[in-house]
Amino acid sequence: MQRSGVLYRVHLLRQHRHQGLGPYHSRLYAAYHRGDGLRQLFGAVKNINWNANRSPNCEKMCYNNGYPILGTRLGPGSASAAGTAPALDGHSICNDWMVFMKIEVYASNTHVSKKDMDGKVVVAVDTLRAATTIITALHNGCAQIIPVEDVEKAMELAANMQLNNAVLGGERNAKKLPGFDFGNSPLEYVPEAIADKTLILSTTNGTATIARAADAKRLYIGALINATALVEELVRLGEDFTILCSGTHGKFSTDDILTAGCFIHLIRQRKVPLELDDLGRVAEDLYNRAKKGVPKALQGSAHFERLMSLGLAQDLDYCLTQDITDVIPVFRDGRIVLQ
């Protein structure tokens, strides 16, 4: 259950479209008095359509199978505020509290300041390819990953750590760097190459995203290959969070936005009431229309086409496959390790 988020007071209203207490309405009513609460009932109800009707006295309202449910947004809060919710001037049958999970999405790390991410739960996304590479390396036994923004600092650090089993990986503009052990292809990070090693990683956009969110309360690394595992962790955590996409050189990149949409879709499947920003809504919509063929949906998008033109079709196939692993990387004290 969502521990903290955006608190709503919700009411199942007495009046409903068909008048009289229908069987569905009665069932809701009975369940409420068994102590399930609307909060639980909502979890079992499909097609909650907030904003389908708007009234001047409330911010959100939905008709659920013809029965009006009214919600009033109270702002940030937690389920522990519960107690008995007040009735609505004799109009409501059931009154309860609900906590919505607020998800914010940013298309590029350059669209936020470090301070914006301070104290938040953040998922850093770079599907093509840094996040996928990080997840794969940890899946294949890598001990820890140290993300470094600057190439020269990465080389210095690797030189100093050489005795400690360190390897150097990364790219600039999708190309491997001279003097580096690995590029940014997740397929290079096989167990025999990476197990028990410390990976020092520097990439064009991905490591900048992690640096931007370094002061987050929790910082996860997400991509399509660990989508379900990550979403289950986020639902278990039950807090609002921010999806910080890497984008490409400060621009919106469809691969990352589709990944954000995938997370949102999977969370909604788990019946968590969501409050999304505009980009989150667009991301969910894009993913819902693309989910049967993500690679096809990305045809013509800039970063996908660039990697394709570099002959990286195998990388793309891998990066765009959902749920290859359950690994959840977290950033903590300057390094990325298994959750």
Residues in contact with a copy of itself by the rule CB under 8 A:
50-51, 54, 56, 59, 105-108, 110-112, 250-254, 257, 277-279, 281-282, 286, 299-303, 305, 308-309, 311
Give the list of residues 6+ apart from residue 76 with CB closer than 8 angstroms, or none: 4, 5, 6, 7
C-alpha 130/C-alpha 141 separation (Å) is: 17
As measured in angstroms, the least distance from the Cβ of 248 to a copy of itself is 8
State the minimum distance, in angstroms, from the CB of residue 233 to a copy of itself: 26
Over its C-alpha atoms, the chain yields an Rg (Å, rounded) of 23
Using the minimum distance from each CB to a copy of itself, give the nearer residue, 202 or 259.
259
Q: Shortest gap between Cβ of 175 and a copy of itself (angstroms)?
A: 18
Q: How far is the CB of 247 from a copy of itself (least distance, A)?
A: 9
Nearer to a copy of itself, 106 or 331 (CB): 106
37 vs 280 by CB, closer to a copy of itself: 280
Q: How far is the CB of 76 from a copy of itself (least distance, A)?
A: 16
Strand partners, 97: 9
Closest to a copy of itself by CB, 112 or 230: 112
Complex with a copy of itself: residue 90 or 311, whichever CB lies closer: 311
Cα–Cα–Cα angle for 109, 128, 160, nearest 5°?
75
**Would strands 121-125 and 241-245 be described as parallel, antiparallel, or unpaired?**
parallel
Tokens read off for 178:
């001279």
Residues 130 and 220: their CA atoms lie apart, in Å, by: 13
CB of 110 to a copy of itself, least distance (A): 7
Q: Which residues contact 113 (CB under 8 A, 6 or more apart)?
A: 212
Tokens of 218: 């929790």
| Torsion sign across C-alpha atoms 277, 283, 286, 292 | negative
Distance CA 329, CA 335 (A): 10
Pick between residue 238 and residue 295 the one whose CB is nearest to a copy of itself. Answer: 295
